[in-house]
Amino acid sequence: MKPERGRALACIAVVCCLAAAAQPSAQRQGGQAGPPSARGAAPVDLTGVWVSIVTEDWRWRMRTPPKGDYASLPLTDAAIKAADNWDPARDAATGEQCRPFGAAGIMRLPGRVRISWNDDSTLKVETEAGTQTRLFAFGPVQAGEPSWQGASTAAWQVAGGGGRRGGGPARGGSLRVITTNLRPGYLRRNGVPYSGNARVTEYFNRVNESNGDSWLIVTTMVEDPQYLNARFVTSSHFKKVPDDSAWKPTSCAEY
């Protein structure tokens, strides 16, 4: 072999080795390195067990308010008429006991919620109240039949960093969830209705205190052209607990 040819082959081998080293491991193994999963891209950890801390609206959240107590709700005339006809015995007889436990009202009920990853692209929220399970999909959702928890599409809201030019690392973020395809339910347990056309938008934010406490703040906006003449906005607070040793799900009928 001529010396010139040997040197050329050696250079080619070095270039190939450097190129291979620069490739992501997934590509060297025959795959393509894609974007991170929703779980991998999470700017904030919402998993764990959280207990509701009722600091507002006590009279509507900690007990069933009497029929006709609709204060602070932007109700249409149709909603008031429907609420005035509320009959819990009729709900029980027709299998509608879970009306207060649908997505538009479930986060306002006292109790614990348990958040975990169902898979890398679906976040799961379980509630003690009514023994409900919510699934937040990061991507397209096949709606299917209307249900108490509907179809929920989730997206991370990443906080910017580093000033006007957007430089620097992200500084946390929140989760936005939009839920539709709902079965008609109650905003409050005394029969205040929302319809199957309701749209629920929620923002989940985690706040960590210097003493080690962690809080989950859920801001909920309900829009319903049939029963609400304005957005109904609430903010619910949850404190993180160490584990689920006190977890005690209660069915809709027993709650």
Dig out the tokens for 23 from the structure: 């490739």
Dig out the tokens for 52 from the structure: 């509701």
Phi-psi map region of 68: left, alpha, beta (phi>0 left; psi -120 to 50 alpha): left
Query: pTM higher than 0.85, yes or no?
Result: no
The predicted pLDDT at position 171 comes to 58
The predicted pLDDT at position 143 comes to 80
> In whole angstroms, what separates CA 151 from the centre of its chain?
11
Model confidence over 80-134: pLDDT tens digits? 999 999 999 999 999 999 999 999 999 999 999 999 999 999 999 999 999 999 9
In angstroms, rounded to a whole number, what is the distance separating the alpha carbons of residues 130 and 96?
12
Q: Which residues of 22-55 are buried (b: 16+ CB within 10 A; e: fewer)?
A: eeeeeeeeeeeeeeeebeeebebebebbbbbeee
Segment 182-210 mean pLDDT = 98
Segment 141-148 mean pLDDT = 92
The predicted pLDDT at position 22 comes to 42
92, containing H or E segment? helix 88-93
Residue 14 has pLDDT above 50, yes or no: no
Model confidence over 148-185: pLDDT tens digits? 999 999 999 998 644 444 444 445 899 999 999 999 99
Q: Which residue type sits at 217?
A: I
In angstroms, rounded to a whole number, what is the distance separating the alpha carbons of residues 208 and 189?
32
Please work out, in degrees rounded to the nearest 5, the angle formed at the alpha carbon of residue 152 by the alpha carbons of 150 and 153: 155
Q: Using only C-alpha atoms, what is the Rg of the chain? A: 25
Residue 224 has pLDDT above 90, yes or no: yes
Dig out the tokens for 186 from the structure: 């109650």
In angstroms, rounded to a whole number, what is the distance separating the alpha carbons of residues 174 and 159?
8
Q: 107: which DSSP letter?
A: G
| Residue that has been written with the tokens 């179809």 in this structure | 151
Model confidence over 32-70: pLDDT tens digits? 667 899 999 999 999 999 999 998 999 999 999 999 999
Q: Where are the domains of the chain?
A: 1-34, 48-251
Question: 58 with 72: CB under 8 angstroms?
Answer: no
Strand pairing class (250-251; 129-130): parallel
Alpha carbon of 5 to those of 2, 10, 13, 17: distances in Å?
5, 9, 12, 19
Segment 22-29 mean pLDDT = 44
In angstroms, rounded to a whole number, what is the distance separating the alpha carbons of residues 100 and 216?
22
Residue 219 has pLDDT above 90, yes or no: yes
Number of residues assigned to the chain: 255
